[in-house]
Amino acid sequence: MDNKINSQQKKSKPQFSPQFYLFWGISVAMTALLLGGFGYYLYQIRLDRIARTQPVQAEASTNDNESNNSNVQSLKASDLVLVEQKITAPDISELKDDDFGKSVKRGKLYVEDTYRQLPKHVGSKLNCTNCHLAGGTTPNAGPWVGIIGEFPQYRSRTGKMDALTDRINDCFERSLNGKPLPASSNEMTDIVTYMTWLSKGYVNKAKLTGRGMPKLVLEREPNLELGQKVFLNKCASCHQANGQGFVGTDGKYTYPPLWGPKSFNIGAGMARLHTAAGFVKHNMPLGMGGSLTDDEAWDVAFYFSQQDRPDFLDKKNDWPKGGRPKDARYQ
Ligand code: HEC
Ligand code: HEC
């Protein structure tokens, strides 16, 4: 008898109230909604990433090593669906007057008025944005938009992983023929903050159209006489026939020096033929980028880049592990 009761109890189904079913029904529906929403969010992020990436552009590569800059980079099939992302700078007027906004504005001042703001660190009469045009926002003129995602980066010239501050100091020591800023100094922090602001909204390692300083390489030897002719016809009106630049009535350099003691030193990227030719082809005469033929850009770049300019004392430490480009000014 006892056994019978037990087995009956086991068989009988538990009784649940209607509220119980309602509770579970709602829970399941909510969970499904949440999961669905999260899935959709992930899908959107992926689309966004794809939209911010584009096929590798050999021309826009910033690698120091020429041999890595072959124009015949083959595209993988998976690259072909990628969409290119253009370089667009944020609007400075939208910056708040908080600590971040103030730091961005100081950083902008340092890179645009470098030799006057940071005289102890600049041996030339150049500003960063004489080359990184329009505050570092011009494609094919070493834009800093998106630069935050590119560092740390292995570079053959130093033979190590470089932080962004190392790279900036390379330009202080070479392009400005000056001295490095301590990585933790207020000035360096402001410059990096400015670049961080320029990079907002760009995904790490996004391939941006016009990133870096493009190279131009022709098969033939450059011609010094033709280069001088191009210089006198198309450059000297601003940079002066002696290449020393031009000081305006406000005492500032209206047109920066291209060679001589006030210009960049022989260790600078701009002292190299391929880099100089690419920069000039895309950006000079100022406001008329693209107007020179490749031949003109090649010869004129040879003419101004090979002129006398300050030595770079640390040159013996460059390319410690090989990979010295053919157009380096020293062996
Ligand atoms: C005389 C021209 C010149 C000046 C002035 C100059 N730079 Fe550069 N900079 C270059 C060139 C050229 C390159 C690229 C070198 C290469 O690709 O071989 C470069 C590269 C860089 C890079 C790395 C860019 C990248 O896409 O990877 C940063 C960051 C940079 N410069 C910051 C600065 C800052 C900050 C200053 C001022 C303190 C400055 N530069 C001044 C010519 C210049
Ligand atoms: C209309 C005036 C003008 C002409 C013409 C001109 N430039 Fe420039 N160039 C400038 C200015 C201004 C800058 C600095 C840009 C800035 O700070 O925004 C500059 C910057 C440069 C720089 C980088 C900074 C430096 O001093 O090294 C080089 C290199 C250069 N020019 C080469 C040339 C060459 C080569 C030609 C002739 C093909 C040429 N420019 C023609 C106005 C001119």
pLDDT digits (tens, 9 = 90+) for 184-204: 999 999 999 999 999 998 877
The helix (H) or strand (E) run that includes residue 162 is strand 160-162
Do both 149 and 246 map to the same domain? no
Instruction: Identify whether 121 is part of a domain.
Output: yes
Instruction: Identify whether 277 is part of a domain.
Output: yes
Instruction: Identify whether 155 is part of a domain.
Output: yes
The shares of helix, strand and coil residues in the chain, as percent rounded to the nearest 5, are: 45, 5, 50
Instruction: Identify whether 45 is part of a domain.
Output: no
What is the predicted pLDDT for the residue at 259? 98
What CATH number is given to the structural domain containing 295? 1.10.760.10
Do both 194 and 303 map to the same domain? no
Domain of 229 in residue numbering reads as 224-317
CB-CB contact of 316 with 259 (8 Å): no
Q: Which ligand 2 atom minimizes the distance to the CA of 126?
A: 26
Q: Which of 198, 215, 246 corresponds to the end of one domain? A: 198
Average pLDDT, the chain: 84
Residue bearing the bigger pLDDT, 103 or 2: 103
Separation CA 31–CA 177 (nearest Å): 62
Determine if ligand 1 sits within 6 Å of the CB of residue 213.
yes
For the residues 225-247, what does the mean pLDDT come to? 98
> What does DSSP assign to residue 114?
H
Token pair belonging to 76: 């993988």
What is the predicted pLDDT for the residue at 57? 33
| CA-closest residue to ligand 2 atom 23 | 131
Do both 313 and 245 map to the same domain? yes
Do both 160 and 241 map to the same domain? no
**Residue 82's pLDDT band (boundaries 50, 70, 90)?**
very low
Do both 175 and 84 map to the same domain? yes
Mutate to test the pocket of ligand 2, among 133, 176, 229, 255 (most ligand atoms within 8 A of CB): 255
Determine if ligand 1 sits within 6 Å of the CB of residue 258.
no
Q: Is 57 exposed, middle or buried (0-12, 13-18, 19+ CB in 10 A)?
A: middle
Determine if ligand 2 sits within 6 Å of the CB of residue 243.
no
- Predicted structure pTM score: 0.80
What is the predicted pLDDT for the residue at 87? 84
What is the predicted pLDDT for the residue at 70? 35
Q: Is 229 exposed, middle or buried (0-12, 13-18, 19+ CB in 10 A)?
A: middle
Residue 253: is its pLDDT beyond 60?
A: yes
Do both 186 and 126 map to the same domain? yes
Do both 145 and 236 map to the same domain? no
Instruction: Identify whether 158 is part of a domain.
Output: yes
Q: Which of 163, 198, 233 corresponds to the end of one domain? A: 198
Instruction: Identify whether 244 is part of a domain.
Output: yes
What is the predicted pLDDT for the residue at 59? 35
Determine if ligand 1 sits within 6 Å of the CB of residue 118.
no
What is the predicted pLDDT for the residue at 42? 58
Which stretch of 49-53, 98-102, 265-269 has the lowest confidence by average pLDDT?
49-53
The position carrying tokens 């001088």 is 228
**Residue 316's pLDDT band (boundaries 50, 70, 90)?**
confident
Token pair belonging to 40: 């959709």
CB-CB contact of 301 with 227 (8 Å): yes
Determine if ligand 2 sits within 6 Å of the CB of residue 235.
yes
Do both 194 and 246 map to the same domain? no
Residue bearing the bigger pLDDT, 175 or 89: 175
Do both 74 and 188 map to the same domain? yes
Residue bearing the bigger pLDDT, 50 or 116: 116
What is the predicted pLDDT for the residue at 50? 40
Ligand nearest to the CA of 297: 2
Do both 74 and 152 map to the same domain? yes
Instruction: Identify whether 292 is part of a domain.
Output: yes
Determine if ligand 2 sits within 6 Å of the CB of residue 237.
yes
Do both 77 and 168 map to the same domain? yes
Looking at the 3D structure of the chain, how many domains does it have?
2
Do both 169 and 229 map to the same domain? no
Residue 76: is its pLDDT beyond 60?
A: no
Instruction: Identify whether 59 is part of a domain.
Output: no
